[in-house]
Amino acid sequence: MQTNSSIAREYLVDQAQAYEKGRKDFNFFSALVLPDVCIFKWPLMYVAMWYLITSRDSAVAGKILRMALGLPRGFAKTTFLKLVICWLIAYDKTEYLLIVAANEELACNILSDVNDMMGSPNVEAVYGAWNSRLTTDNNREKICFYHGKKLILYALGALSSVRGIAKDNKRPDFILCDDVQTKENDQSESERRRLKSWLVMTLFKCVAPRGDRVIAYLGNMYSTECMLYLLKEMPQWISLITGALLVEGESLWPDLQSVEEIIESFFHDEGLGLGSDWYAEIMNDPQANEKRLLADTLPAVAYDLLEVEPDAAFITIDPAGFRNNSDDNVVVVHEVRGGDPGIREMVGGIWNPKKVIEEAIRLAVEYRCTLIGVESVAYQQTLCFWLDYFLEAAGLQNSVAVVELKPHGRHKETRIKELRDEWMEGRYHFFDETARNLFIWYGRKYKIGEKDNRDDYLDAAAYGLDVRREYNGLLGIMKDDEYFKPRAPRSQRPKINTPF
């Protein structure tokens, strides 16, 4: 037997071999069932979800297994769910499977697709006849004498009556909930409460009273009050939830969506005032209103001020380490145009101190900065020494002042919120779209009051307020010299003679 998929095309197997391989290999099984759809391997996260759903630990056999599963929109969640259902049927892991969706039509559509998949030539060739063994075949219900026993599949819409759901004195041993809660439901406190009550007190109570029983809830995060969020917080539920971008910055499924495509979709939605919604549904990372740093609608780039020549330019640096798990070292260029301060450029990376200094001096010359401010806490103050050293080596010691920036007892969140407020009230600006996007990207992730925020770009930018307050007398514009041509394109500017 051979499929058209790139996953399984190398396999030429007989029925028994295909049966055994499909039992252990979800990628092979998927390509067998949907050869024209499953052309890429599932990411490890999906395989882990399949394993959790289909494998019972002997220590918990006979108990109810409750799983809260979250996948981002646009990442084949429903296709994955249908294939899991087919696997459960093919390997006799269920006798009565209940499919629940936000409404009956959606649940029936899933049931119809599962029916077509189980009746496909490949599946019937490996797992046995399906279509000819159906005894009940309507939109809501399929009953099949499959592998010598009666199998029931039933489709149900949320908030429906469950009266009559028991069949032949049997109740569902497997309840699969797919996107049962809609965004509109979550936005209404009364509707949200009504759905929660129905799920917990009605639907979940319909599970079979004994045997291996599973309740799997697949959904998206809409808010910190939605069902998926509530279930993942409960010790009685096993949760496996991921966003489109992993912690390492990689795509959950690079073959399906690249990092660039995912980020582009964020800024598309952000431009329409839906950045918070994007984080909730694509990253499965909702924020309570009281924890959000940024408002839904944010000021645009101050392009009008770019027509005004800068009165002053300076740099702030938030140093970090240079191990693989370090935060970024961030260098921020600030300008003052017609008395209005703003951020012109932000760059960062896991750089060694030499690279940080190189970037700072490069930007200082490019933007004619007269000051470089460095957050100086503990060992970080040594960066000031080396900046002075290399500025002197470059002949810029009289053009650029290096100063220390200290917290003065303030928590960094206080600084970040102050810059946010200044920006929102039109007293600080962004003069560049890329810099604004970086600030928004990390600002949307930020959760007020939590300790594990990624705040390096936010904090480096926020120190611009301290420079304006403490070192305003040192701010100005570096005089033109042989190395700097203010109107020339960056690619045509001569490289400054530095020791790097």
For residues 349 and 329, is the Cβ–Cβ distance under 8 A? yes
pLDDT in tens, 45-68: 999 999 988 886 655 667 888 999
Q: What are phi and psi of 2, to 5 degrees?
A: -140, 140
For residues 439 and 461, is the Cβ–Cβ distance under 8 A? yes
Q: Token match 């910190």: residue?
A: 224
Residue type, 27: N
Whole-number percent of the chain with pLDDT over 90:
68
| Residue 343, C-beta contacts closer than 8 angstroms, at least 6 positions apart | 332, 333, 334, 335, 428, 429, 430, 431, 432, 435, 436, 439, 461, 464
The number of beta carbons lying within 10 Å of the beta carbon of residue 182 is: 17
For residues 130 and 120, is the Cβ–Cβ distance under 8 A? no
Question: Token digits for 45?
Answer: 């996260």
More confident residue, 328 or 425: 425
Q: Report how far apart, in Å, the C-alpha atoms of 301 and of each of 41, 334, 428, 429 are.
A: 42, 14, 11, 7
pLDDT given for residue 5 in this prediction:
46
**What integer is the mean pLDDT of 343-360?**
92
DSSP characters for 145-196?
Answer: EETTEEEEEEEEETT---TT--BTTB--SEEEEES-S-HHHHH-HHHHHHHH
Strand ranges of the sheet holding 340-349, from the earlier edge strand across to the other edge: 401-405, 371-375, 310-318, 329-337, 340-349, 429-430
367 burial (CB, 10 Å; 0-12 / 13-18 / 19+) is: buried
DSSP characters for 17-68?
Answer: HHHHHHHH-HHHHHHHH-TTT--SPPPHHHHHHHHHHH---TTTTTSEEEEE
Closest CA to 94 of 29, 150, 23: 150
Which 3-state string (H, E, C) describes 339-365? CEEEEEEEEEECCCHHHHHHHHHHHHH
* pTM greater than 0.85 (yes/no): no
Domains and CATH numbers, the chain: 1-38 (no CATH), 42-242 (3.40.50.300), 303-492 (3.30.420.280)
pLDDT given for residue 459 in this prediction:
93
Would you say the C-alpha torsion 48, 50, 55, 60 has a positive or negative sign? positive
The number of residues in the chain equals: 500
pLDDT in tens, 236-274: 999 999 999 998 789 999 999 999 999 999 999 998 988
154: left (phi over 0), alpha (psi -120 to 50) or beta: beta
| 261, containing H or E segment | helix 259-271
pLDDT in tens, 187-241: 999 999 999 999 999 999 999 988 888 999 999 999 999 999 999 999 999 999 9
**What integer is the mean pLDDT of 436-449?**
92
Q: Provide the pairing of β-strand 149-157 with 429-430.
A: unpaired
Beta-bridge mates of residue 136:
143
Gyration radius (Cα) of the chain, Å: 29
Q: Is the pLDDT of residue 436 over 60?
A: yes
**What integer is the mean pLDDT of 170-181?**
94
More confident residue, 379 or 182: 182
pLDDT given for residue 496 in this prediction:
39
32: left (phi over 0), alpha (psi -120 to 50) or beta: alpha
